[in-house]
Amino acid sequence: MNRALFAGLAGTMNNQTRLDIIGNNLANSNTIGFKQSRVTFRDTYYQTLRSGCGSSANSGAVNPIQVGSGNALASVQTLYTQGSLGTTGQALDAAVEGAGMFVLSDGDTQYFTRDGTFALDDTYTLVSAHNGMRVRGWLADGGVIDTTQPLSDLQFQMGQMTAGDVSTEVTMGGNLSADAAVGDSIVTSIDVYDSLGAAHELIITMTNNAADNTYDVEVVCAGTTATGQITFDGLGVLDSGSPINISFTPGGGATGPQAVDVDFSAITQLAHDADAVARVQNGRPAASLTDVILQENGIIVGAYNDGRQVIMGRIALAAFANPAGLERTGNNLYKAGSATGEILIGAADSGGRGRVVA
């Protein structure tokens, strides 16, 4: 009688655990990055009342008689099946598609999560929006990310100024009229930038010469003048004279002298209205970082107020020899346990790790 009561009690208690797990799965059906669990059971100790014996010449085989003592909890296994992805409209939110977890740190302990709800804190460091733990990855050096280096916090200097690019080339475009009278001029200008990001107006004047298909060119910038001639062939295509170089001293502490080539190779001379213009130059002014945006596979791009985008860093992803060996700590977090095995931290979409979806 006692055996029956104890066996029934064991089954009731263990099935209560199963119901607890099911209830927890249901309660977290809308929890970001949550992975459901399943329960398995095992039978327990058996009392052998009679052992079995084989058949003989005079009798058949006799099976053993054993009485079980109930069941026990065998395992609670986390199922790392892929969840559905949804759009949040937040520029720093991320999801993992495939194997792997994001790496977080509270300064002392390393944690892992499938919850990619990220934001910048008051120090412009990328953190989990739920618990404030810092997201780990690699910062870029000159736009280059070295994922072989140790992990670091992803902190960005919002508002920090970055040097511009020095202008070294101006590209002209458009047409110089083949019907222009001798002495007719067309003037165009464009700003070029020195080593400190300061703008200097570069003025190009093109004047029709008395010689056929020839224009005199004057380039003026920062008090310096350079001259030259450009000529065209019978088809209105530039024949010679490009580029014209001007070397000027920008002043204001900027590096000088600064040389700029004015390229006329795209200019034509046809019987059409004159619309020659300085189209583009390859310099940039100094700019400040205004925003950071997460892109595919964990690449973080910084947006500057002049429109340029620069790679700033990358989020790390961790894969595990035995992900079922991770221990849940609450707050959508896991930490490594003795059964987890090797932790493989690296870039997304490599080494068996899944993709990071922005």
Rounded to whole angstroms, the Cα distance separating 13 from 192 reads 79
If pLDDT is split at 50, 70 and 90, which confidence band does 166 have?
very high
Residue 2 scores a pLDDT above 70: no
Position 88 scores a pLDDT of 81
The two tokens of residue 337 are: 């346990």
Rounded to whole angstroms, the Cα distance separating 279 from 95 reads 42
Q: Which of 279, 274, 250 is nearest to 262 (CA)?
A: 279
Torsion angles phi and psi, residue 9, rounded to 5:
-65, -45
Residue-wise pLDDT for 44-78, tens only, equals: 777 788 888 888 888 888 888 888 777 787 777 77
Position 1 scores a pLDDT of 59
Q: Which residues pair with 247 in a beta bridge?
A: 259
Q: For the whole prediction, is pTM greater than 0.75?
A: no
Q: Could you tell me if 164 and 197 are in contact, meaning their C-beta atoms sit under 8 angstroms apart?
A: yes
Least confident of 43-52, 249-258, 299-308, 329-338: 43-52
Please, which contacts does 220-223 make with residues 24 or more away whose CB atoms are closer than 8 Å?
Answer: 220/246, 221/192, 221/246, 221/248, 221/260, 222/248, 222/249, 222/250, 222/251, 223/248
Query: H or E segment at 5?
Result: helix 2-27
Q: Count Cβ atoms below 10 Å from residue 125 Cβ, excluding itself.
A: 15
| Percentage of the chain modeled with pLDDT above 70 | 99
Rounded to whole angstroms, the Cα distance separating 156 from 291 reads 9
The SS3 call for residue 271 is coil
Q: Which of 170, 175, 137 is nearest to 156 (CA)?
A: 137
Q: Could you tell me if 158 and 249 are in contact, meaning their C-beta atoms sit under 8 angstroms apart?
A: no
Q: Output 213 or 85, whichever has higher pLDDT.
A: 213
The two tokens of residue 78 are: 């986390």
